[in-house]
Chain A
Amino acid sequence: MKKLLSVLFGTIVFGALTLGMGACGNVNGGDELKVYAPDGAPALALLNAIEKEDAKEDETFDFDIVDASSIQTYVTGANPAADLAVLPVNLAAKLLGTGETYQMLGTVTNGNLYFLTAGENPVLTAENASAALTGKKIGVVRLTDVPGLTLQAVLTDLGVDYAILESAQEAGAADRANLVAFAPENVTPNGGCDYYLCPEPAASTKIKGTASAATPFRKAGDLQELYGGSEGYPQAVVVAKNSVIQNRKADVETFIGYLQGSAAYLETVSVANVLELLEEARESGLAPSFNANNLTAEVIANCSVRYTPAAQNKDVVLGFLQKLIAVNSASAAIPQDRFFYLG
């Protein structure tokens, strides 16, 4: 009898716990729309919205800055948590490109990759890239990810042949640019490469960190400019659930208004304020990408935060995705027309 009661009691407690945890699944504080973004440059695009919402008594949006590697969990599944989300354009195209659940409202960041060099190497431009890079080694942070793929696409467009080496110690080909994967901590003036391609804030941190070295780093080119001139390339995009666009169009337009003001906002906001807003929205336990040591007004400017509506940018986005796919077919997908929100 005792055993039976124990088993019964245990089952009831277990069942209650399971129900309780299930109920905790999708708790939404009322009518607030959930907005998710990965930490780093894409999160900067939300700061204008976060500050404006903070000033309101009744907030419309609830912001969460999450780990970049988990962003896909918020926009996929039977009932995705995100009403709006910022994510890398290639992931957005791969995961959401059918347009069934989400539409792309526009691009929010336009590239943050810069070339560094420590020697006498020239600053890279579209005109001199072929001559300057042939026979040279380029250390690339995240070579197999979008930064490296974008570089390979740019080199192809500029007619620069390239090869990928396993390490900087390997002898490079004299008739092509030689690309080597580098971890950010190994990017040093003595790392064995002529140029390094680094994202912000690492690029500025390296320049600052080697300022007093015998051969300090200096900026030697802008990948965004090599790709698309002053426009850069579409790096991160913002998407919205179709149901939210249909049922809460006014709120979506308000959000777009916030994004349109992001670039101007970031020109005037203080670094301390940026860090405070990011801290407020960041998920608990996540190590921040930006901190007081690596974030400056110049880094914020170099992250190229600028909103461009999908209606204006659709061809540019498609072109960029096609170039990524040409380098690595697994990196992206071509979205359908209905993926783009045209207003």
Chain B
Amino acid sequence: MKKERLINFIFSVSALLFLWIVWMVAALAVRNEYILPSFQDAFSAMGKLLADGAFWRAFGNTLLRTVLSFLVSLVLGVGLALMASLWTWVRAFLSPIISVLRTVPTMAIILILLIWTNPRVAPSVVTLLVLMPAVYAAALSALDDVRAGYGELVRAFRVPAGRKIFKLYLPLVCPNLLGQAGAILSMGLKITVSGEVLANTFRSLGGMMQEAKMFVQMPELMALTLLTVAAGFLLEGLCLLARYLLVRWRR
């Protein structure tokens, strides 16, 4: 088991090395720092950003937007999934709405929201609209599995609805949800930043990317992109840690 983990780790590191090599080769082939900056320039720009208070303020704002949107979508998604799981008419009612939310083009929603709201709010709302269906689908699938396993039991013992939900369904769904939370949260970060770029949100990672592009600061743009990716990995890692700590009873 340990050997297998080590081998998998080595392969993962190799993948990152491979990406790095592809970048170096591409930069050499393109030979234009205004199209693809070199690895050294991008990392030097990253160092400057990490020492800049304005970056941390923007990072904090973007992270806050992402986490708030995620939490709201978590509450909404799980709540609606619970209702859909308990009552089939709710499931039927929500089904087309969730399909529409899943299918509607994200960029189009941002453009519409920019007219209805403002650049500060629009990215948060669009993140919520994209994450909520994902959370709903994950929660509903997990609840369906739980009900399949324990449905007869709760019916036979006539467990009250409140106890059913809070003492059985939610605790059993938690490991599954937490397992997917990392991927959903990092997707939320990606959508928030995309929204901020389009909205040119003040004091945000997306706004900084837009400004870097405007003034042809490609190393900064690349550095901001890499830092966003790193933040996504960090959020996924934190969710995995949360799952490990909170779901001890499963081990």
A residues near B (Cβ < 8 Å) are: 69, 72-73, 76-78, 90-91, 94-95, 144-145, 164, 166-169, 181, 183, 185-186, 328, 330-331
Contacts and interface: CB of A to CB of B under 8 A. Distances in A.
A73 B120 contact: no
B245 interface: no
B115 interface: yes
A164 B215 CA distance: 20
A308 to B, nearest CB: 24
**Chain A interface SS verdict (over half):** loop
- What 9 A-B pairs come out closest when comparing CB atoms? A77-B32, A76-B34, A78-B31, A167-B118, A72-B34, A330-B215, A166-B202, A72-B216, A145-B214
A186 B114 CA distance: 8
A144 B118 contact: no
A77 B119 contact: no
B119 A183 contact: yes
A224 to B, nearest CB: 21
Nearest to A90: B215
Contact of B119 (A91, A145, A167, A330): A167
Contacts of A181: 119, 200, 202
Contacts of B210: 144
A166 B118 CA distance: 9
Nearest to B111: A185
Contacts of B135: none
A183 B199 contact: yes
Contacts of A331: 215
Nearest to B199: A183
A95 B215 contact: no
B30 interface: yes
B30 A91 contact: no
Contact of B217 (A73, A166, A167, A330): A330
A243 to B, nearest CB: 18
Interface string B13-46: 0000000000000000011111100000000000
Contacts of B32: 73, 76-78
A107 to B, nearest CB: 20
B164 interface: no
Given A186-B118, A330-B211, A331-B215, 12 more contacts: A72-B34, A77-B32, A144-B214, A164-B202, A166-B203, A167-B118, A167-B120, A181-B119, A181-B200, A183-B199, A183-B200, A330-B215
A73 B118 contact: no
B197 to A, nearest CB: 12
A72 B111 CA distance: 27
A149 B181 CA distance: 42
Interface in B114-135: 114-115, 118-120
A77 B30 contact: yes
Nearest to B216: A72
A77 B202 contact: no
